[in-house]
Amino acid sequence: MKSSPPEVRILANAAAAVPLLLDEVRTLLTSSKSPLLGFATGGTFTAFLQALGHELGAGRIPAAGNLLATHLDEYLGYAPDQKGGMVHELGSACPHLLAMLAKGTFFPVPHDDAPASLRAHEQRLQRAGGVQLQFLGIGRNGHLAFNEPGTPFDSGFHGTTLAETTREDARARFRPAEPPTRAVTSGIATILAAKRLVLCAFGKAKAPAVAAMLQGPVAPTCPASVVRTHGNVLVLLDREAASLLQSGLVGA
Q: Is 151 in the site for ligand PGA (CB under 6 A)?
A: no
Q: Which of residues 27-46 bind ligand PGA (CB under 6 A)?
A: 42-44
Window contacting ligand PGA (CB under 6 A); options: 133-141, 149-157, 171-179, 243-251: 133-141
Give the C-alpha separation, 81 to 116, whole Å. Answer: 22
Residues that contact ligand PGA, how many (by CB under 6 A)? 6
User: Exactly one of 91, 139, 220, 223 binds ligand PGA (CB under 6 A); which one?
Assistant: 139
Give the C-alpha separation, 190 to 70, whole Å. Answer: 13
Q: Is 101 in the site for ligand PGA (CB under 6 A)?
A: no
Determine the residue with CB nearest ligand PGA: 42
Buried b (16+ CB within 10 A) or exposed e, 52-86: bbebbeeeebeebeebbbbbbbbbbebebeeeebb
* Least distance CB 219 / ligand PGA (angstroms): 18
Residue 138 makes CB contacts below 8 A (sequence gap 6+) with 144, 199, 201, 206, 209, 210, 213, 224
State which H helix or E strand residue 48 sits in.
helix 46-57
Q: Is 137 in the site for ligand PGA (CB under 6 A)?
A: yes
* Least distance CB 74 / ligand PGA (angstroms): 13
* Least distance CB 233 / ligand PGA (angstroms): 15
State which H helix or E strand residue 68 sits in.
strand 68-71
Of 47 and 98, nearer to ligand PGA (C-beta) is 47
CA distances from 12 to 9, 221, 241, 242 (A): 10, 29, 11, 11
Q: Is 208 in the site for ligand PGA (CB under 6 A)?
A: no
User: Exactly one of 14, 56, 133, 138 binds ligand PGA (CB under 6 A); which one?
Assistant: 138
Paired sense of beta strands 73-75 and 68-71, if any: unpaired
Give the C-alpha separation, 133 to 194, whole Å. Answer: 6
Q: Is 187 in the site for ligand PGA (CB under 6 A)?
A: no
Residues forming the active site? 73, 141, 143, 148
Binding residues vs ligand PGA (CB under 6 A): 42-44, 137-139
